[in-house]
Amino acid sequence: MDILKHNLTRLVEVEPFPYHPDTQRNVMAFGNDILRRKFHFAMDQVENTIKPFKFEVDCSQAEWEGSVERTVRLLEREMDMCARALKDISTRVGKRTLNSAINYIQESTQGASSIGWRAPQPMPTTTTTTTTKAAANEASADQGADASQADTEAGLPLLSPAILEEARMAMSLRDRAAILKLRHAALRSKQCRDRKHRAQCPEAFLNLVADKLTNAAVMFLQVELLNEFFFQFPRELDSKLYFGLDKSHVQAFARENPRVLQQLELMDRKRKLEEVMDKLGYVTRQQERMAV
């Protein structure tokens, strides 16, 4: 319905409709009125058609095989998209930097999971607070310098937050590609060739259900809504914008367009000049007769 309204809007925006604002409004009103009258009835028919799918979805072996093939192609396309995305990340970041960032994230995750519960330390006294803070700052600075020096000596690049985010995205894409590869292998297996094993192949079954729902909905929308719209809309335009107008309204409609108005004015001038020429010719002929 939204597509039809959008196409109606595009239709009235094409010349010569911009020169006729009243006609634009009438065309939109006719189209919206037809859609409004037919929309709810069409939706009821679609709802009644898809209700049986809530209880049972029956399919033939040919339909099941077609669903499996469509699902396999979909998974292959998804795997290609994951591979291209991983390649783009590797190109932007660099393969060595990306691997270092992934290893760093994995080691950090493993280290965080291996840390156990620690007993709370006693609070320091007020006399030693300043000394403790200074010592802690010096120790952290020394540790940071040692870590940076160790990373530099090991040949590891400095990892910014943006690089770490790219690494997390790459890890997510890699895991997704692995899952898609497993499901692709499952769909290619012998078990998924038979429709009786639909429970073991949920992707193919859902694709089959979606295809059946779409076909049923499209069929009733085509019959109950689109056919009625395409049949009535041009007849509404003819009856109300052409046959329902008298000569004066037709002329007023034509004169709204500047190009047509210019042509009409030229035709009117031509007609007047022809009348003048006829009268001058008549006067000339009368003078010739009187001279004879």
Q: What is the DSSP secondary-structure string of 125-141? A: PTTTHHHHHHHHHHHHH
Over residues 53-69, the mean pLDDT reads 84
pLDDT band at 120 (very low <50, low <70, confident <90, very high): very low
CA distance 241 to 147: 82
Over residues 88-113, the mean pLDDT reads 83
In the predicted model, is pLDDT for residue 116 greater than 80?
no
For 137-185, how does the pLDDT look when each residue is reduced to its tens digit (9 = 90+)? 444 444 444 444 444 444 445 678 888 888 899 999 999 999 999 999 9
pLDDT of the residue at 132: 44
Model pTM above 0.85 = no
Could you tell me which residue, 112 or 175, shows the higher pLDDT? Answer: 175
Q: Please, what is the average pLDDT of the chain?
A: 78
pLDDT of the residue at 161: 87
Structure tokens at 14: 């094409």
Residue 72: CB partners within 8 Å, gap ≥ 6? 184, 187, 188
pLDDT of the residue at 119: 42
Could you tell me which residue, 131 or 66, shows the higher pLDDT? Answer: 66
Over residues 254-260, the mean pLDDT reads 80
CA distance 292 to 286: 10
Neighbour count for residue 201 (Cβ, 10 Å):
24
pLDDT of the residue at 112: 59
pLDDT of the residue at 113: 54
pLDDT of the residue at 111: 64
pLDDT of the residue at 288: 82
Tokens 């009187």 correspond to what residue? 290
Rg (Cα) of the chain, in Å, rounded?
39
For 180-219, how does the pLDDT look when each residue is reduced to its tens digit (9 = 90+)? 999 999 998 888 888 888 888 888 888 988 888 888 888 8
In this structure, of 130-134, 174-178, 203-207, 257-261, the range with the lowest mean pLDDT score is 130-134
The dihedral of CA 250, 256, 257, 259: what is its sign? positive
pLDDT of the residue at 31: 84
CA atoms within 13 A on the CB side of 133: 5
For 216-252, how does the pLDDT look when each residue is reduced to its tens digit (9 = 90+)? 888 888 877 888 888 888 888 888 777 767 777 777 7
Q: Please, are residues 221 and 42 in contact by the beta-carbon 8 Å criterion?
A: yes
Widest distance between CA atoms in the chain: 144
pLDDT of the residue at 20: 81
